[in-house]
Structure formats: C-alpha cells, structure tokens
C-alpha cells in the first residue's frame, strides 16, 4: 500500500483520510492548527460525522492513520498527496484559492521525488 498525505483535517480531509486508512492505506493527515492535531491524536473529533470517531480511533490504533502539523514530514513520506483545505468565497463569489496555492508551494518545496 502507498503512503498518502491528506492536507487539511476538515470535513473533506479528515473523512477522506479515515476512509483511505480503513481501506488499508497508511495515511498522514496534516493540519496547520496544532491544537486540532493534538485533539485528533487524543481521539477527540473536531467535527461530527456519524461513525467517524470510531473509524479514526480504529485506524490510529492500527498505526494506519497519523496526524501532524508538519507538512514537510508528510510530503517526504508520501507518494500521493491530497489537498483538502478551505476555499472560502471572495466578495464577488469566486473561490479564494490562496490556501490551496500556499499548500501547493509547501509541497513543492518539500518534495524529494516526482513520479
């Protein structure tokens, strides 16, 4: 199985990471909010989704689901990276992609290979 990084632990990122780990993949979930990462490491869910807490706890216990705030570590250890960060709307209704762009830059600066 490949190691997968999921950047962002909101509804999309955390659920994606938990489901991928349930499928047997080694997943590293990254968030820049250190308090949220600490909560997740303790098994405290920052969001509610039916069954998510049990899925996270089960896969964290099996060491298939890890949490960190260090994007460099996740990038260097992963073969696949999903960006699941917020894209809040601008005043004109268009998506603010600045968070996606910042994460993409961080990934590019920490990549060790490209295949």
Beta strands in the chain (DSSP E): 3-7, 26-30, 65-68, 80-83
What domains, with CATH codes, occur in the chain? 3-110 (3.40.50.720)
Residue 87 has, within 13 A of its CA and on its CB side, a CA count of 10
User: CB-based contacts of 114: which residues, under 8 Å, 6+ apart?
Assistant: none
Q: For residues 55 and 18, is the Cβ–Cβ distance under 8 A?
A: yes
**Does the reported pTM lie above 0.85?**
yes
What does the pLDDT profile of the chain (115 residues) look like in tens digits? Answer: 679 999 999 999 999 999 999 999 999 999 999 999 999 999 999 999 999 999 999 999 999 999 999 999 999 999 999 999 999 999 999 999 999 999 999 999 998 877 6
């Amino acid at each position: 199985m490949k190691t997968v990084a999921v950047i962002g632990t909101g509804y999309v990122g955390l659920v994606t990471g938990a489901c991928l780990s349930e499928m047997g993949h080694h997943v590293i979930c990254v968030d820049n909010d250190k308090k949220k990462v600490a909560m997740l490491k303790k098994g405290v869910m920052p969001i509610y989704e039916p069954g998510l807490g049990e899925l996270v706890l089960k896969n964290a216990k099996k060491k298939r689901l890890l949490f960190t705030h260090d994007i460099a570590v996740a990038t260097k250890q992963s073969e696949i990276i999903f960006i699941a960060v917020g894209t809040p709307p601008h005043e004109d209704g268009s998506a603010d992609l600045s968070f996606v762009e910042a994460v993409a830059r961080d990934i590019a600066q920490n990549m060790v290979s490209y295949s």
